[in-house]
Structure 1
Amino acid sequence: MQSNAKLKHLFNPDSIAVVGASRHPGKLGHVIMSNILRAGYKGKLFPVNPAGGEILGLEVSTSTDNLPVPPDLGIITLPREKVLTAMEDLAAANVSAICVITAGFRETGRDGFELEMAMADLARRKGITLLGPNSLGLVNTENGLDATIAQASPAKGSIAFFSQSGALCSAILDWADGENIGFSKFVSLGNKAGLSEADVLEALGDDPETKVIIGYLESVDDGEKFLRKARLVTEKKPVIMIKAGTTQSGARATSSHTGSMAGSVVASTAALRQAGIIQVHDLEALFDLARAFATQPLPEGPNLTVVTNSGGPGILAADACEGAGLHLARPAQKTLDILSEALPPFAAIYNPIDIIGDAKADRYRVTLEAVATDEFTNAIMVLLTPTASAEIEETAQAVIEVAKDCDKPIFACFMGDERIGPGRDMLLAAGIPCYGYPEPAIRAISAMHAQYSWRHRPFPVEVCFRRDKGKAERLIRKSRKIGLKELPFADAMDMAMAYELPIPETRLVRTSDQAVRAAKKLGYPVALKIVSPHIANRSDVDGVALDLHTPREVRDAWLDITTRTQRKRPDAYLAGCLVQTMGPTKAREVVVKFTQDPQFGPLISFSLAGPSAEVLKDISYRLAPLTLQDAQDIVREIKSFPLLRGARGEDPVDLAAIEDILLSMSQMASDFPDIQEAELNPILVNAEGALVTDLRLTIG
C-alpha cells in the first residue's frame, strides 16, 4: 500500500528527470518537457537522452548515471521494450517516484502483461511509487507541475480529478479550459501497475487544496481496499464518479482497453453507494455536481425555496423536487409578511415564489433577502427567463450580493442562451452554479443534501452472529473432497443450522413409501419438493406440492412431481424429494442470495419471490459485510416493500426476522469466500417470523 508520504515526491517533486526527452516537437518527450516548463515548475528539470545536447534551453544528460542530483520523479516516454531498463536505471539513481507514459502493456496481451508485472515487481522491491504505465501524466496546480502529454494545461481550482483513461483526461482538460473550470490535482492512472484508484483517492482526501474529488473508473483491482479508503474520504469531502463498463459491451471494451476484469454492474453500484460515493452516468452531470460542491455549502435539510419570474419553470422545478427527494419549503410567517408587502398583488408568495414576468432586479433582491433568512429554507434556487422586462446582469449582481451574506447554498437557473450569457458568466465567476434548466440544478441540490445526510448518519453498527464455523468448514471440506460443486441438500440444511437460520423440519426421501412415513413422523400437513442438482428453480418443472393432508395425497404428489420432472428434464439426475412441515400461513415469499463478485467480494441481494424479481428486476443489493443499517435499507429499498409493510389491511411481516437472516447470510459470505453462490428461496415470512424452506450452496 502506498502511503501519502510516498506520494509526496510524485505530486511535489523537487527534481524531475524526463527519460526519453526529445528536441522534436511532435515527440512525447518534447511535449512533457514543454508542458512542465510552460506551467511554471520551479524545481530542477533534467532531460535524459543518449544523444546529449540541449532541449528547450536545458542541458541534456546522456544517461541517468550522470544526473547532477538524484531525481524525486522520473518520467519515462521510451518505447515499450526499453521501459524496464529505464526503470532499473532510475532505481539505481535513487528515484522516489516514476510515471510511465508509454503504452502497450497488459492491454495488448500476454507479453505486455508479463512486462508490466516485472515493472510492478521492481517498483515494490525498490520502494518506488509507480504511476502507469499507459498514463497521460499528472498535474499539481499548487506548485505549477504539469507533467502530462495533454495540449491544454488546467487552471488552478479546488476540484481534483483522476481517471483510468488517458484520452478522456485529455478531452476533459480541453473541455474544462473552455468552461473555466480549475483543478487542484489531475491524475491519469493508466494501467495501475503501481498506484491504484484507492491510493490516489486517499491522497486526495488529505489534500488541503482539494474540496471535491471526481473520477472515472473502469475497474477496481482491490475492491475491499477501495471501499475502506473511500469511506474515510467521503467523511471529509464529496467524491463523485462515473463508473464505466456498466453494460456487457462496456465490460468487454474495458477489458480490451486496460486489460482489467470488470465486476458486475450491481456490485459496483452497491459499492459506490455503501462507500458514500455519488455515482453519475455522464460527464455533464459529473462537472455540474463538481462545480456545485466546490462553491456552495451543503444544505442542512431537504427544503428548497424557488424564486422565479415565470410560472412554468417554477412548476418544472417543483416536479423535479419530488423526483429528487427534496421538498418545497413553506415560508415562515415572517417571510410571508415581507413578501406580501414587497411584491405585487398578483405575485405568488408561496413556494415556488412567482414574482411575475415584469420583475426587475430590485424585486429579485428583496425576495432573495427575505428567503435567505427564512428558518424553513435549506437551499435557494433563482429562476430567470429573459422576459422583455428582465434585467439580466443586474439580477445576477443581486444574486451575487445576497449570496455573500447567506450561509445557505444558492443556485441559479438562467434559462436561454444569448441574452442571459453575460449574467450566467457573472454568476459562474462569483462561484454560484448557473444552469440552463431546472432539472440539473435540482439534481445537484439533491446530491448535496445526500452528502450532508451521509456525513451525519448514525455510526454504522456491525453485527457478528453466533455460528458453528467449524461445522461449516467440515461440510464444505467434505463436498470438496468428493468433487461436488453444490452441497447436497442435507449438508446445505446442516450449514443453515450452523448459522442458526430458521428452517422447517425436513426429510430427504427416495421413494413414495419413505415420503408417507416421513410425513407421518413430521405431522400433517406437509410439502413435497423435487431434489436435483441440475434444477436450480423448481417452478421450472412445477416440482412443488403444498398442503398435503393424507398419505394418499403424498403418494399422488410423489408420482406427479417425479413423472413431470423426468418428462421436462430427462437430463436431470433426481435425488428424490423433500418432505417438509408446512410453513406459516398468510406468509409472503422472499428471496435472499449472495454471489462472489470478482472485484468487490460477496454481493447480497434481496427481493420478493416470483415475477417482481425475475421479470421486473425489483431487487436490491449490498456488499457484505452488512451493517445493521444495510440490512434495514436493503429490505426497504425494493419497490414491492409496501407489500411487506402491510397493504390493503393485511398484517405487516416480521421485518426484523428478515434482517436477521440477511445478517446471518452476510456472516456466511464473509466467512467463506469459497462459497461462490448461495440462495435461500423461498423464505416464508409473516407477522410471527420467518422460515427458510430451501437453501442452495455452490462452492468454488
Structure 2
Amino acid sequence: MLEALFRPRSVAVVGASQDRTKIGNIIVRNILASGYRGKIYPINPRAEEVEGLRCFPSVTAVGAGAVDLAVIAVPATAVLEVARDCGKAGVKVLVVISAGFRETGKEGLAKEQELVSICREHGMRLLGPNCVGVTDTHAPLNASFAAGFPHQGEIAFISQSGAMLVAILDWSLKENIGFSQFVSMGNKADLNETDLIEAAANDPNTKVILCYLEDIKEGQRFLEVAEQVTLEKPVVVLKSGVSEAGAKAASSHTGALAGSNVAYDTAFRQVGVIRVDTMRELFDLAVVFARQPVPRGKKVAIVTNAGGAGIVAADSVERQGLEMARFDRETLEELRNQLPPASNIFNPVDVLGDARRDRYEAALNQVLGDDNTDGVIVITCPTAVSDPEGVAQTMIELHARFPHKPMLAVLMGGESMAGGLKLLTQAGIPCFTFPELAVGALAGLVRYGSIKTRPPREETPVYPDVRPEEVKRILERVRQERRRSLLSSEGAAVAAAYGIKVAPIQLAQRAAEAVAIAAELGYPVVLKVASPDILHKTDIGGVRVGLKTPDEIRQAFWEIMESAARHFPQANLFGVEVQKMCPRGVELIVGMTRDLQFGPLIAFGLGGVYVNLLKDAAFRLAWGLGSREAESMIRETKAYDLLRGFRGEKPADLKAVVEVVGRVAQLVSDFPDLVEMDINPVFAYPQGAVAVDVKMTIR
C-alpha cells in the first residue's frame, strides 16, 4: 500500500492554486520540478488550470481509481469533506498538509479522529495531518512544500518535526548529502515511524534509515519491526524530549531509577536501533553507513602527519570502546624501512609534518594490508608542504584496493583542505574536521557490525508452576478496598504465587497476634509497619529487626504504630507485618516500572537502603527477556562482581537470580495492572535466592 505513497502512478493536489505564494501551488511546482513521470491532477473548483495543468473541481471528477495519492492543502475545515471525496474516488493514500487538528486542542483532536475514521472506512492510509509532505528522489517525486529537492542518495530521513525536516534539507543541499526518502510525519494520526521504517527497509534505494522522533506510537509493534529491520539496515534515531520529570512522580525505587528516558534507551538497545544525542551525530553516522563497509572488528589504525592529532584520536578510540590495532612484525619492519627514521611506526603511525602523497601511500598500504587492522582513520593537518589533494587521491585508490575496510578522513583545516575534501566526498570517503568526530562515526560502524551479527532473540521463558488465579484474587481484594499499593505480605504472596521464594511474612493487627505469628515462624523476626500509604518504612522508624522474644515484639509493635501515627496521621494503618528474619546474602533489587510505550521495564542492581544513592542498575524490557539477556543485564552491574564472589566470599547462585528476574518478567507481563514493583532486597546465597521485601502498585 505504501508504494502509492512513494511511487504513485498519479497524484492529485487538492487546494492547487494559481497564486505562486500559496502552498497548493508550491506543491504542484515541486512535483513538476522533481521530474515526476506520472499524471498530476490539480484540484480547484475555481480554476481551469494551474501551472499549465488542467484543473478538476474534485477528485471524484478525475475518475474512479484514477488517483493513487492525494496531497491535501486546504483549510482544516474543508479536509473532512475532501477526504470523503477521495474515499469515494478510490484514492489509496492521503497526505494531509493542513494544520488545525490535534495540535490545536480538543476540537482539533475530534476532527483528526473523524479524519482517521473516514480513511479506515475507505481503506485509505493517511500521512499527517499537519505535515510538510513526502519526497522520494528515485521515483522521482517531491510531494511537499519544502524549498528544494534533495540530492539523490541512499539515506531515508523520517521526521516528526516538519521544521526540522526543511532545515535539514536546506543544510544537506549545501553539504552535498543525498537522500532516498524524506518524510514528514506530522501528527502521526495513521502512518507512523514504524510504518515508514518498514517501508524504508523494503526500499532497494535505501541503505540507512534516520529518524527524528519525539515519541513512539505503537511501542510493541515498533520493537518487532525494528528488531528485523536492523539485521538488514542500520536504523539511527535522534529521540528528543529526554526530561526526567517522570522520575519525580515515581513511587518505587525502580521508577525513580528509570525516569522517562531509560525505557527508550533500553528498547533501542534491545532491538539494535542506534540512538544518538545530536543532529551532528545523526548525519555523521548516516554518511558513514551509506558510504563505508561495516568492519569485521574494532581494531583501528591511525595514520597522521601530526603527532598531537594522532594522540587525540588514540584517546578517543579508547573512550569509544574501540581498540588500537597492533601491527604484525612484518608490517612494522616495512614501515621502518619505508618511513623516515623520526617517524613513529607504531599505532598511531606518524608520517611527519613534511609528508606528501608518497609517504601516506607507503604507510597506508602497509596498515591496510595488516590483518590486525579493521578500519583506518587518516589525519592530514595543513603544513607548508602538505598535499591534501594528493593524499585524497591516494586514499581513493587504496580504498578501491581494500574495499572491505572502512576508511575515514580527518582534514584539520579550512580553505587549504577544500580540494582534498571535494575529491574524497565525491569518492564516498567521509571527511571530518576533528579526530573525535571520525572516531565516533567509526565506533557507530563497529557497533552496527555487532548488531547485524547478534544471536537471535531467545524465547521468553514460561514457568509452568505459576498460580495466576491466586494473584487475581489478591489484586481484586486490593481493588475492592480502593487501594493502589499492596501490603508487603500481599506482595510476598503474589511473588510466591509466581514461584519466587520469599521470606515468610504475615499481617498482625494486635501485639498478641504478632507474638503468636513470631512463635509460628520462629525467631528472630522483623516487624514492619503495614500501610499502603507508607512506602519507605525505614524513614519513619517503621521497621524493627532481630527481635528474639515476645516482650521485644510487643514493645516494637507499639513503637512502630505510634511512630507511624505521628509521622503519617492520615495513613491507613493495617497493623504490623511479622517476617522471618533471613541471614544476609548479596543484597539485590529486582524491580519493574511500566512504560507507556514499551510495557514492563525490568530493573536489576545492588539493593538495600542505598539503591537510589548507588544507582547501580541495568534495565531490560520484559518483552524478549530470555535467560541469556537476563544474565547479560546482571553482568552489566557492580552487583555481578559481588555475585561472583568478592574478596574471598563464596560465589552466589547466579542461576537462581536469573530465574527471579525471569519470573518477575512473566508476572508483570501476565498482569498489566501491575504498574510498579520492587523486590528489595533479594538476598542471593551460594544456593538459592530469597525475596525479603516486596512492594507492588496497581493501576
Q: 1:454 aligns with which of 447, 451, 455?
A: 451
Q: Which residue of 2 aligns with 1:105?
A: 101
Give yes or no for the alignment of 1:135 onto 2:131: yes
2:54 corresponds to which residue? 59
Measured against aligned partners, the alpha-carbon deviations of 1:452-484 in whole angstroms (never above 9, x if no partner) come to 111212222221123112222232233323433
- Aligned-pair CA distance for 1:324: 1.1
AA matched with 2:590: V
Partner-residue secondary structure (3-state), 1:697: strand
Greater mean alpha carbon deviation, residues 604-613 or residues 276-285: 604-613
1:11 aligns with 2:10: no
**Segment drifting more, 81-90 vs 66-75:** 66-75
Structure-to-structure mapping, 1:604-683, within 5 angstroms: 604-610=602-608, 613-625=611-623, 626-638=625-637, 641-683=640-682
**Is 1:173 the equivalent of 2:169?**
yes
Which of 675-684 and 206-215 deviates more?
675-684
Given that residues 460 and 628 in structure 1 are in contact (C-alpha distance below 8 angstroms), is that contact kept between their aligned partners in structure 2? no
SS of match in other structure, 1:61: coil
Q: Which residue of 2 aligns with 1:590?
A: 588
**Following the alignment from structure 2 to structure 1, what is the Cα–Cα distance between the partners of residues 552 and 328?**
70
User: Aligned partners of 1:589 and 1:665: how far apart in 2?
Assistant: 17
Matches within 5 A, 1:398-409: 398-406=394-402, 407-409=404-406
Quote the Cα distance in structure 2 between the aligned partners of 1:695 and 1:459: 33
> 1:240: which partner in 2?
236
**Deviates most, 226-235 or 388-397:** 388-397
Give the CA deviation at 1:503.
Answer: 0.5
Q: Verify: 1:426 aligned to 2:423, yes or no.
A: yes
Counterpart residue type for residue 473 of structure 2: R
AA partner of residue 420 (structure 2): G
**How far off is 1:167 after superposition?**
1.1
Dislocated runs of 4+, deviation >6 Å: none
Deviation at 1:606, TM superposition (A): 2.1
Instruction: Identify the range of structure 1 (350-359 vs 277-286) with the bigger mean alpha-carbon deviation.
Output: 350-359
2:334 alignment partner in structure 1: 338
Cα deviation, residue 249, structure 1: 8.1
Q: How far did 1:633 drift?
A: 2.6
Please tell me whether residue 380 in structure 1 is matched to residue 376 in structure 2: yes
**CA positional deviation for 1:67:** 1.2
- Are the structure 2 counterparts of residues 685 and 413 from structure 1 closer, same or farther at C-alpha, using a change threshold of 3 Å? same
The aligned amino acid for 1:195 is: L
Distance 1:613-1:324 versus aligned 2 partners, 3 A rule: farther
Contact kept, 8 Å, 2:487 with 2:531, in 1: the verdict is no
Partner of 1:391: 387
CA deviation after TM superposition for structure 1 residue 616, in Å: 5.0
Of 223, 226, 233, the residue aligned with 2:222 is 226
Tell whether the 8 Å contact from 1:15 to 1:43 is kept in structure 2 after alignment: yes
Paired-residue identity, %: 42
**2:577 aligns to what SS in structure 1?**
strand
Deviation readout 1:268-310 (Å, 9 max, x if unpaired): 2211111210001111110000000001111111111111122
Q: For residues 420 and 150 of structure 1, what CA distance do their matches in structure 2 show?
A: 32
| Matched position secondary structure for 2:36 | coil
Deviates more, 1:148-157 or 1:645-654: 645-654
Q: Which amino acid aligns with 2:26?
A: V
Aligned to 1:259: none
CA distance in structure 2 between the aligned counterparts of 1:194 and 1:576, rounded to whole angstroms = 52
What is the CA deviation profile of residues 325-358 of structure 1, one whole-angstrom value per residue up to 9, with x for unaligned ones? 1111111122112112111222221111222222
- Between 1:72-81 and 1:517-526, the stretch displaced more is 517-526
For the residue of structure 1 that corresponds to 2:2, the secondary structure is: helix
Once the two structures are TM-superposed, the CA of residue 248 in structure 1 deviates from its matched residue by 5.8
CA shift for structure 1 position 644: 4.0
Amino acid at match of 1:547: G
Whole-Å separation in 2 of the counterparts to 1:482 and 1:653: 40
**1:364-379 matches, cutoff 5 A:** 364-379=360-375
**3-state SS in 2 of match to 1:279:** strand
Give me the whole-angstrom Cα distance separating, in 2, the residues matched to 1:373 and 1:250: 52
Q: Residues 648-677 of structure 1: CA distance to partner in whole angstroms, max 9, x if unpaired?
A: 444443332222111111111111111122
How many angstroms does 1:611 deviate by? 6.7
Q: Does residue 29 of structure 1 match 2:12?
A: no
> Equivalents in 1 of 2:344, 2:512: separation in Å?
80
1:485 maps to 484
Distance in 1 between the 2:388 and 2:610 partners?
A: 51
Q: How far is 1:639 from its partner? A: 5.2
Counterpart Cα distance in 2 of 1:24 and 1:427: 43
Tell me the distance in 2 between the aligned counterparts of 1:224 and 1:443: 30
| Paired residue type of 2:656 | A
Alignment of 1:118-517 (within 5 A): 118-247=114-243, 264-406=260-402, 407-462=404-459, 463-466=461-464, 467-517=466-516
Report which stretch shifted further, 651-660 or 404-413: 651-660
Query: TM-score, with normalisation over the residues of structure 1?
Result: 0.94
Superposed CA deviations along residues 190-247 of structure 1, whole A, max 9, x for unmatched, are 1111211111111111111000000111111111011111111101100001111111
Deviation at 1:487, TM superposition (A): 3.0
Q: How many Å separate the matches in 1 of 2:558 and 2:474?
A: 32
Contact 1:332 1:374 in 2 (8 A): yes
**Structure 2 SS opposite 1:139:** strand
Specify the code of the residue in structure 2 equivalent to 1:35.
Answer: N
Q: Is the 8 A contact 1:140 1:146 kept in 2?
A: yes
SS in 2 for 1:420: helix
**Worse-superposed segment, 358-367 or 641-650:** 641-650
How far off its partner does 1:250 sit? 12
**Closer/same/farther in 2, CA of residues 588 and 601 from structure 1, 3 Å limit:** same
Q: 1:460 to 1:65 in 2, by over 3 A?
A: closer
Give the whole-Å Cα distance in 2 for the aligned partners of 1:613 and 1:515. 30
Q: Secondary structure, in 3 states, of the residue corresponding to 1:13?
A: coil
How far apart, in 1, do the equivalents of 2:455 and 2:354 lie? 48
Partners of 1:584 and 1:686 within 8 A in 2: no
Question: How many equivalent pairs are there?
Answer: 683
Alignment-derived partner of residue 253 in structure 2: none
Return the offset for 1:532: 1.3
Q: Which amino acid aligns with 1:9?
A: A
Amino acid at match of 2:271: A
Q: Identify which range, 153-162 or 567-576, moves more after superposition.
A: 567-576
Q: Secondary structure at the residue paired with 1:133?
A: coil
What is the distance in 2 between the residues matched to 1:363 and 1:630?
48
Q: Deviations over 1:549-599 (max 9, x none)?
A: 3334434433443333333333323322222222233x2222222122222
Code of the residue aligned with 1:216 in structure 2: it is Y
Amino acid at match of 1:8: E
Task: Give me the whole-angstrom Cα distance separating, in 2, the residues matched to 1:14 and 1:173.
Answer: 25
State the distance in 1 between where 2:304 and 2:643 align: 42
Query: Is there any run of 5+ residues in structure 1 with no aligned partner, and where?
Result: 1-5, 252-262
Q: Bigger CA drift: 453-462 or 108-117?
A: 453-462
* Preserved CA contact (<8 Å) 1:612 1:618: no
> CA contact under 8 A between 1:460 and 1:629: conserved in structure 2?
no
Give the drift of 1:489: 3.6
Conserved 8 A contact 1:20-1:77: yes
Q: Quick one: distance in 2 between partners of 1:574 and 1:611?
A: 23
- TM-score under structure 2 length normalisation: 0.94
Structure 2 counterpart SS, 1:515: helix
- Separation (CA, whole Å) in 2 of partners of 1:249 and 1:678: 19
Quickly say closer, same or farther: Cα 1:688–1:305, change in 2 above 3 A: same
Q: CA contact under 8 A between 2:608 and 2:680: conserved in structure 1?
A: no
Partners of 1:682 and 1:249 lie apart in 2 by 26
